[in-house]
Amino acid sequence: MVEPPAPSSDASRGAPPVGETERRRPRNQEDGGGFWRSLLLTVAVALGIRQFLVEARYIPSGSMLPGLQLQDRLLVEKLSYRQRAPRRGEIVVFHAPHAFDPALRSDYQAGPGRCFLVNLPFLGSLPGMQEPACDAFIKRVIAVAGDRVSVDPGGHVTLNGRPLAEPYVRNWCRPQGPGSCRSLDATVPAGSVLVLGDNRANSWDGRFWPGTHFVPNGQIIGRAFFRFFPFSSVGSLVTADPAATPGAAGLPTPAQRP
């Protein structure tokens, strides 16, 4: 009768069987790969939310004073305008006129890939990354497609033959002289809106762009709907259609428009 072989000295000391070490290495490598996959997935989800659902923006200029102060932080949602057109009174974020004004676009051109990188957090502030065509502006929708709108040198708006009440405007242009602003008299074309800054005396908006007065709806990034900083000013940015107030009776509301 043949005796079974005696256990080796390694086995007697509790050493792992041959091949167990080799099986453990891939598991450690898999853990490392899992970390990077999770990180990439988290980044992809965050970028997807920012690109298609909602993103945070800050106010870089005084064109919307006094309602929006410099460095205010806002949330901009991107779903509403996939279902409907912008409405009067809404505060919108849109691509800079360098991206759609024919008089500016020829001098400032940037592909979507460049603009995507420029608008990533931290990257856009790096030297050499700035690109005017990739900037974003924030203004208020004053008139929508089909509206007949005129703006006098003082910045006051007449919409479809009636003066527009704008309680959010505090800083008007001077009616004449060095502080006067450019006037405007036009009908808003289909698929476009007229936007103006609340700080009527200090806003580069549709009154001043050299090649067009209007923003195509497709150039609008989203609707600013909530201010989350500073904490003393947290709250909704949703405002009623200024043309639908009792003092502007007879003007069609967005719900009545096709």
Both tokens of residue 232?
A: 């003393």
Task: Quote the DSSP letter at residue 3.
Answer: P
The Cα 91–Cα 238 span in angstroms is: 8
Which of 146, 162, 163, 145 is CA-nearest to residue 154? 163
Active site residue: 12, 78, 80, 139, which one?
Answer: 139
Alpha helices in 53-192 (DSSP H): 80-83, 102-105, 112-118
Whether residue 78 lies in the annotated active site = no
Both tokens of residue 57?
A: 């923006």
Task: Quote the DSSP letter at residue 146.
Answer: T
Active site residue: 63, 78, 192, 203, which one?
Answer: 63
What count of other Cβ atoms lies within 10 Å of the Cβ of residue 67?
19
Helix, strand, or coil here: 257? coil
Whether residue 63 lies in the annotated active site = yes
Q: At residue 158, what are phi and psi to the nearest 5 degrees?
A: -115, 125
Whether 196 and 139 have beta carbons less than 8 Å apart is answered as: yes
Active-site residue list: 63, 139
